[in-house]
Amino acid sequence: MPRHERVEAAIKKEVSLIIHDQIKDPRVGFVTITKVDLSKDLRNAKIFYSVLGPEDARKKTKEALDSALGYIRTLIAERINLRFATEIAFYEDHSVEYSVKIEEILNRIKEEDGNKPGL
């Protein structure tokens, strides 16, 4: 595995651990880190996450993650041995929501087709 991918995987693992074990903010909901996009020079990371719950819970989680950004970045720098601290930014990943909606639509279509006479 190339170094770039190893560092992405390490950041994903560490951010997950930090959020679940060390962030005590009550606004943080049930967060899953889904992906990390790291720049080629390893200086910038886009961290994608998903949150279970209603829209207001997702907004509160985004606020909490943004307010803890510096703390999370510091811990990542301590835990992952790089020459510099990687800049991070959080982005909500909506792909899980989309896949659930698509599955619901496909199931509805399947039911409608099953109810048609002559099939």
Q: Taking 80 as the threshold, does the pLDDT of residue 18 lie above it?
A: yes
Query: At 45, is the pLDDT very low, low, confident or very high (cuts 50, 70, 90)?
Result: very high
Which of 20-34, 47-61, 101-115 has the lowest average pLDDT? 101-115
62-80 pLDDT, tens digit each: 999 999 999 999 999 999 9
d(CA 105, CA 99): 10
* Nearest CA-CA partner of 89 in 98, 76, 99: 76
Q: Taking 60 as the threshold, does the pLDDT of residue 102 lie above it?
A: yes
CATH topology of domain 3-94: GMP Synthetase; Chain A, domain 3 (3.30.300)
* Across 37-61, average pLDDT: 91
76-82-88 Cα angle (round to 5): 45
Domain map (residue ranges) of the chain: 3-94
Q: Mean pLDDT for the chain?
A: 89
DSSP E strands: which ranges in the chain?
A: 30-38, 44-52, 87-92
Whole-structure pTM value: 0.79
Residue type, 48: F
- Residue 2: predicted pLDDT: 87
Q: At what angle do helices 69-79 and 3-21 cross, to 10 degrees?
A: 130
With contact defined as beta carbons under 8 Å apart, do 49 and 35 qualify?
no
- Residue 118: predicted pLDDT: 57
